[in-house]
Amino acid sequence: MIDLHTHTVFSDGELIPSELVRRAEMKGCRALGITDHVDFTNVEFVIRQVSKVKELEDDLEMRILVGVELTHVPPPKMEKLAILARRLGADLVVVHGETPVEPVAPGTNRMALEIGADILAHPGFISPEEADFARDNSVCLELTARRGHNITNGHVARLAQEAGAKIVVDTDAHSPDDLIDRDRAIGIARGAGLSLERATAVVAHHAIIEL
């Protein structure tokens, strides 16, 4: 299991980073991305604080990636924030996509693809053109375990497969109960319409990192 979209107390999660890491380890996670919500007001603080958890890697058989999730940032400002986050040391840039259950600004999905985010999280009702753009810019489209956001997983999976875009399965975990194991991740991918073979491959070999 590789999960590159999770949250801690440094945004709206319930766990401090070390507990999140430990609980993910117990689920069999081999790589964990901590991607707290950021905008221009807190990006320096979040990256600085979360980066300290990488000290735990010496005692774990797990990679820890420090990332950010650009959240409700006006699309014209997203590239500037993404560049800043990478300059500050972010390993991952996730964009909070146009989920149908939150008032995300129109154009967010498109801008995430234009700036080459690593993951477009819960992108909602993406268009075929956006799926093609994700393929061309090597942006991963997320199938999410998160309740509410996951109602469009089937739509995202279908367009991603038709376009040949990269697919990832992440939890968007905010609490201990949100974390999942490998079998659950495969089930989420299959529930979105992937074959067992494809779902297993997506979960086993994350499109972003090499272990």
- What are the tens digits of pLDDT across the range 71-95? 999 999 999 999 999 999 999 999 9
pLDDT of 210 over the 70 cut: no
Assess if residue 86 is contained within a domain.
yes
| pTM (predicted TM-score) | 0.96
- Rounded (5°) CA angle 169-60-49: 75
* Amino acid identity for residue 88 in this structure: L
Backbone φ/ψ region at 122: left (φ over 0), alpha (ψ -120 to 50), beta: left
Tokens of 174: 């905010």
Tokens of 33: 């991305």
Q: Supply the range of the domain harboring residue 194.
A: 2-204
Assess if residue 100 is contained within a domain.
yes
pLDDT of residue 208: 73
pLDDT of residue 211: 47
* Amino acid identity for residue 159 in this structure: L
Residues 168-177, mean pLDDT to the nearest whole number: 98
Assess if residue 90 is contained within a domain.
yes
Domain count, the chain: 1
CATH at 50: 3.20.20.140
- List pLDDT tens digits, range 135-162: 999 999 999 999 999 999 999 999 999 9
* Sheet strands side by side (includes 167-170): 2-6, 31-38, 63-70, 92-96, 119-121, 140-144, 167-170
Q: Based on the number of CB atoms within 10 Å of its own CB, is 158 exposed (0-12), middle (13-18) or buried (19 or more)?
A: middle
Assess if residue 211 is contained within a domain.
no
Residues 119-128, mean pLDDT to the nearest whole number: 98
Backbone φ/ψ region at 96: left (φ over 0), alpha (ψ -120 to 50), beta: beta
Q: What value does the mean pLDDT of the chain take?
A: 96
* Amino acid identity for residue 22 in this structure: R
Q: Residue 123: which H helix or E strand, with range?
A: none
- List pLDDT tens digits, range 11-38: 999 999 999 999 999 999 999 999 999 9
Q: How far apart are CA 91 and CA 68, in angstroms?
A: 8
pLDDT of residue 74: 98
pLDDT of residue 206: 73
DSSP code of residue 151: G
